[in-house]
Structure 1
């Protein structure tokens, strides 16, 4: 963290006014963002865009301490800009008008919906706004396309601080800067694992936690973990060691002895992987298993009680989810930097795996519902098998019988060609194949 960051935000507010953030989505993550930004110096929410139900955005803003007279429902770009200029928060259901508003400097997508994320990011970037993607599902599907579009437009496309992938990227970058070998990086899983979870079984828990049951199930059935670790892989070049990863029950103190090469008593077939643990003391944090490359460094780390060696666990014991995301928005505007970006070519994929038997003609629902869950793999293997990325599964139609546990593919499912994210991903896949063919030649 830049030690002058807070001072820079204050100075920016003094000279030009606070950074104006446009937010898409007013669910759990969006509400957190509205509250958090209201508590910070140097940033403000200028506009909130929701697909429907403006009352949700109003309720979120009121819970953050904004007065009713500070909120105004609008339907066009000029009205959004006038509201922002008057120090109010514009609330709209019109994404095109929202993205075109000249007073918005940076957009945060907090919807968690792949197709919506594609529309939001394209609209923001094409209107010259920095784009913070708090929507890992969209990022792993078309993030590298959006990054390229942002570069052409002279703006920043970035993943969000506070999400586990970006938090783990910090540790990986730290270790690599010190010249250490990164053996493994990942997260502690926050929820108990139930691969067969469906929303009907989690209604009560979701209500108690102020969550949507579908969103809770996305965490419980492992989809979110698979998606997040694929995002980490595609930002760092680390890969899943095996399909689905290992997911050991390794505690904080055991990690470096378990997520290390098999030649040293661990479970890994290689160094340089992403994984997760369900052991105690790691969640809600992230970790990076490192290997020093000189006996003196190993001696010092042992002396400093980092671990016993020869592998050591760097552990960040928290991630603050959407509460940290405003920092990413501020860095994009102040410094023109990204906290996390996908590599130009992917190394991992989150495929879709059937949660139940699926008959031909079935139209698939959303992530976290009844039909499928995420499954991490190396990109080359998933591509060769024509597997269906989880970000493209919604509204796909089953064309052949699929048994529970089978992987969905372009051979047993037909994607919805009307979706923007499907069209963009097809272009990416064709470009990736040309790259592989040229590399092989």
Structure 2
């Protein structure tokens, strides 16, 4: 959906840009209705040889990482719409080339709102996401129904519903802007009044002495947007109250929409004009997204996929607090070595992971960011 809509947008509304190649792993013969079918390719080399900038929107951590590494070898900048990749390999990649998340998805929308806020003199305390619905352990039947009804994949539907996606999105924002979390899994306030919820989150951030990322689950007002809780100079308070933002000290700035592919062109233009990075996971992250079991898992069971699967869901953690957690974006065909209870955080000691480039990157980044336990270093050595 993202690639179809983005290509249509560029063709009709960005005459200064040209779609040169579109990389796909699907059979080209099945894509006759693609809006630029003549530029479809299966070759990463072909893509890179004909591009000045790459837009990566696979939603796939492993394949997206491969494409971005190849792009950086060729000196090309990359705009991505893939928060899942950002929290898994993004910090490693950010040190090797220009990598930025795009406007359109919630992280990029928060980054754009932050830029506006800073220009107006606001100091962000809370980077907030509005989540419409949450069920930590939805049934496969329900997810199949909603996947078909909404026209998106089963994996996407599940990761949106069980909260994994919002945890991933907020961790990217936190790492990108030096914010933290108040607790594992975030507060996730049920909210009938955004101003009241914002005040609570603002007080939490003040208590920690550091900006935080979090989300609310609205009831009675629209979901789907993003918000900031900010401070401003005391002597500006009368003017800000006149401007209808209240008496302070916490001010709420909202962006009540995020339009996904329709906004990506803004970030492409930004990078091509020399505007630099809007947001990435930073080269020195402090937060990660751990895998939390949804059900009892026995020895020898296989976790086919982490993000959007029915065995685990994601929760935001501080890397310093959970140094042995397995990033949920790393889980693919992993085999359990020990029995796990529902709600348990999955560690590297709990399972056997398939050797991969993504695993190498995760372990290398983990060693860089933290004092890594000897057991984890042994895993890394064994894989290599």
TM-score, normalization by structure 2: 0.90
Partner residue of 1:54? 28
Give the secondary-structure state (helix, strand or coil) at the position aligned to 1:240.
Answer: coil
Which of 168, 180, 184 aligns to 1:243? It is 184
Match of 1:255 in 2: 197
**Which residue does the alignment assign to 1:226?**
167
| Displacement of 1:341 | 2.4
Greater relative contact order, per chain length (Cα 8 Å cut-off, separation 6+)? 2
Tell me how many residue pairs correspond in the alignment.
369
Q: Partner of 2:351 in structure 1?
A: 413
SS at match of 2:172: helix
Task: Note the C-alpha offset of 1:347.
Answer: 1.7
Q: Deviations over 1:407-441 (max 9, x none)?
A: 11112122222x11111111111122369xxxxxx
Give the conservation status (yes or no) of the 8 Å contact 1:198–1:368: no
Task: Show the counterpart of 1:429.
Answer: 366
1:171/1:145 Cα in 2 relative to 1: closer, same or farther (>3 Å)? same
Is 1:379 aligned to residue 319 of structure 2? yes
Asked if 1 retains the 8 angstrom alpha-carbon contact of 2:125 and 2:205, the reply is no
Distance 1:432 1:253, change over 3 A: closer
Aligned positions of 1:166-185 closer than 5 A: 166-185=108-127
How far off is 1:241 after superposition? 0.9
Residue in 1 aligned with 2:2? 29
Residue 193 of structure 1: which of 105, 127, 134 is its match?
Answer: 134
Which residue in the other structure is 1:311 paired with? 250
Is 1:106 aligned to 2:53, yes or no? yes
| Residues 147, 153 of structure 2: 8 Å contact kept | yes
SS of structure 2 residue aligned to 1:349 = strand
Matching of residues 7-26 of structure 1 within 5 Å: none
CA distance 1:142–1:314, shift in 2 (3 Å)? same
In the other structure, the counterpart of 2:300 is 361
Q: Secondary structure at the match of 1:142?
A: helix
RMSD: 2.2
Report how far residue 94 of structure 1 moved: 2.4
Contact 1:48/1:57 (CA < 8 Å) preserved in 2? no
Aligned partner of 2:239 in structure 1 is 300
TM-superposed deviation, 1:299: 2.1
Q: In the alignment, does 2:287 pair up with 1:348? A: yes
1:136 aligns with 2:83: yes
**What secondary structure, in the 3-state scheme, does the structure 2 residue paired with 1:376 have?**
strand
Residue-by-residue CA offset, 1:101-155 (whole Å, 9 max, x unaligned): 2x211111111111111111111111222111211111111212112111xxxxx
- Structure 1: unaligned runs, 5 residues or longer: 1-27, 72-88, 151-155, 436-441
What SS is found at the alignment partner of 1:411?
Answer: helix
Aligned-partner Cα distance in 1 for 2:205–2:316? 24
1:340 & 1:317 partners in 2: Cα distance? 20
Question: Are the equivalent residues in 2 in contact too, given 1:182–1:271 (CA < 8 A)?
Answer: no
Closer/same/farther in 2, CA of residues 56 and 282 from structure 1, 3 Å limit: farther
Which SS does the other structure have where 2:321 is aligned? Answer: helix
Quote the offset at 1:252 in angstroms: 3.0
Deviations 1:178-198 (A, max 9, x none): 5543221121013x1110024
Indicate the residue corresponding to 1:285 in structure 2: 225
Q: 1:176 to 1:333 in 2, by over 3 A?
A: closer
Q: How many Å separate the matches in 1 of 2:304 and 2:2?
A: 22
**Matching of residue 390 in structure 1 with residue 364 in structure 2:** no
The aligned counterpart of 1:147 is 94
Per-residue deviation, residues 231-262 of structure 1 (Å, max 9, x unmatched): 00010011111111111122333333232215
- Between the aligned partners of 1:263 and 1:46, the Cα distance in structure 2 is 46
Is 1:39 matched up with 2:39?
A: no
Higher radius of gyration, 1 or 2: 1
SS of 1:365 mapped into structure 2: strand
Q: 2:68 aligns with which of 90, 96, 121?
A: 121
1:190-240 CA-partner distances (Å, limit 9, x unpaired): 3x1110024432222222211112211110010100000000001001111
Give CA deviations for 1:282-308 in whole Å, capped at 9, x if unaligned.
5221111012242x2222211211123
Q: Distance in 1 between matches of 2:231 and 2:325?
A: 34
Corresponding residue SS for 1:353: strand
Equivalent in the alignment of 1:161 = 103
Partner Cα separation in structure 1 for residue 330 and residue 81 of structure 2: 18
